Amino acid sequence: AKTLGRSRYEFFNVELRMRLQRRLRLEQDLRDAVRRGRLWAAYQPVVDLRTNETVAVEGLLRWTHPVHGPVSPTEFIPMAEESDLINLLGAHVLRETTKEVAARRADGIDVDLKINLSTRQLDDASLVLAIEAALASTGLPPSALCLEITESALMRDAALAGETLAALRNLGVRLAIDDFGTGYSSLAQLHKLTLDTLKIDRSFVTGLGESADAEAIVTSIIAMAHAVNLTVVAEGVETEKQLEVLKALDCDQAQGYYFGKPQPAHKLWP
Ligand code: C2E
Ligand code: CA
Ligand code: CA
Ligand code: CA
C-alpha cells in the first residue's frame, strides 16, 4: 500500500506539472498571438423567428495555435480573464468586429453586432472610451452594438458592474444577459439592470421537444423576460423540432447550428 501511495503521488505530481506547463506555455503563446494579431472573430447568425431573417451576428473569438491547432475559447478566455490579457483580447475583438460589421452594413447587409464581455473588462476604466472610439471610427450606430455578459458573471459582480453598465447604456449600446438560467437572478435584479436582451442558455434549448421540464423552464423564462420587455434569444438551436417549439412559445430570436455555425466573415458573406 505504501509503494502504491507513493507512485500515485508521483503520478499526480507529474500530471499536475504537465498541466501547469501546458497552461503556462499556452498563456505565453496567447499573449504572443494577441500581439501578432493572430486572433480572429467568427460570426454566427442570429435569426428573427417572425421574419426568418438574420438580424444580427455574434462575434466569437478564435485562436489557432501553431502547434496545438484550434484552442477553444472555453479554455483560453478563462485563462485570459485571470490577467489583464482579457482587456487586450476584448479590445481586439471590439475593433475587428465593429470594423467588419460596419463595412458589411455599408454594403447593404443590415445586421447588428453582438460581442461578449467579461466582467473583468467592466472593471477597466478605458472600456467605455474604447467602445466610443470603435463606434466613432467605424460609424457603427451605438444601437447596432449589443454587449453580452453572462448571468453568472453579472450576478457575481453586480455591484461593480452597475456603474460601467450605466455609462454604456448612456452611449446607447444594447446590453444582453447571456447563458440565462445557469445563475440565480431574480426578476427584480433583472429589471434593475435595465438590459435589452436575454439569451436562454443552450442547456435548456437542447431538451425542447424531448423533455417536459425543459419546455416548462423555457416557457417561464420567456414569460418572465417579456414581462420586463426583454427581447428573448434562444441559443444552441440545432433541430427543426426545437425551432418549432420556440416559435410556439413566442421566442423572439434564435441562434444555433440549425441556422449556421460560427464562420469567418468571408465565408458568411462571400
Ligand atoms: P457563448 O457566448 O454562450 O457563445 C455561444 C457558444 O455556443 C459558442 O461557442 C458557439 O460556437 C456555440 N454554439 C452556437 N450554436 C450552437 C449549437 O447549435 N450547438 C452547440 N453545441 N454549440 C453552439 P464558442 O465559440 O466555443 O464560445 C464559447 C464561449 O467563449 C462563449 O459562449 C463566450 O462565453 C466565450 N467567448 C467567445 N468569444 C469571446 C470573446 O470575444 N470575449 C469573451 N469575453 N468571451 C468570449
Ligand atoms: Ca454570447
Ligand atoms: Ca451564451
Ligand atoms: Ca455559453
In this predicted model, what pLDDT tens digit does every residue of 175-224 receive, in sequence order? 999 999 887 777 777 778 889 999 999 999 999 999 999 999 999 999 99
Return residues with CB closer than 5 A to ligand 4 (ion). Answer: 179
Instruction: Give the pLDDT band (50/70/90) at residue 56.
Output: very high
Cell of 39: 486572433
Q: Is the CB of 178 under 6 A from ligand 1?
A: yes
Sign of the dihedral through C-alpha 207, 50, 149, 263: positive
Going by C-alpha positions, the residue among 82, 44, 87, 38 that lies closest to residue 62 is: 38
- Over the stretch 89-142, which tens digit does the pLDDT of each residue have? 999 999 999 999 999 999 999 999 999 999 889 888 899 999 999 999 999 999
Testing ligand 1's pocket by substitution, the residue of 44, 115, 116 carrying the most ligand atoms inside 8 A of its CB is 116
Q: Is the CB of 236 under 6 A from ligand 1?
A: yes
* Residue whose C-alpha cell is 467602445: 131
Q: Is the CB of 151 under 6 A from ligand 1?
A: no
Cα gap 155→132, rounded to integer Å:
25
Pairing of the two strands 112-116 and 69-71? unpaired
* Residue whose C-alpha cell is 498571438: 33
Closest ligand 1 atom, CA of 121? 44
The closest residue, in CA terms, to atom 8 on ligand 1 is 60
Cα gap 165→168, rounded to integer Å:
5
Cα gap 197→175, rounded to integer Å:
6
Structure confidence at residue 193 (pLDDT)? 82
Asked if 230 contacts 222 with a C-beta cutoff of 8 angstroms, the reply is no
Cα gap 127→132, rounded to integer Å:
9
- Strands (E) across 72-168 are located at 112-116, 145-150
Of 27-31, 59-63, 227-231, which has the strongest mean pLDDT? 59-63
Cell of 103: 463595412
The separation between CA 255 and the C-alpha centre of its own chain, rounded to angstroms, equals 12
Going by C-alpha positions, the residue among 193, 200, 186, 229 that lies closest to residue 46 is: 200
Q: Is the CB of 77 under 6 A from ligand 1?
A: yes
What's the CA-to-centroid distance between 18 and ligand 2, angstroms? 31
Residues contacting 214, CB < 8 A, separation 6+? 204, 205, 206, 207, 208
Going by C-alpha positions, the residue among 234, 226, 228, 239 that lies closest to residue 180 is: 234
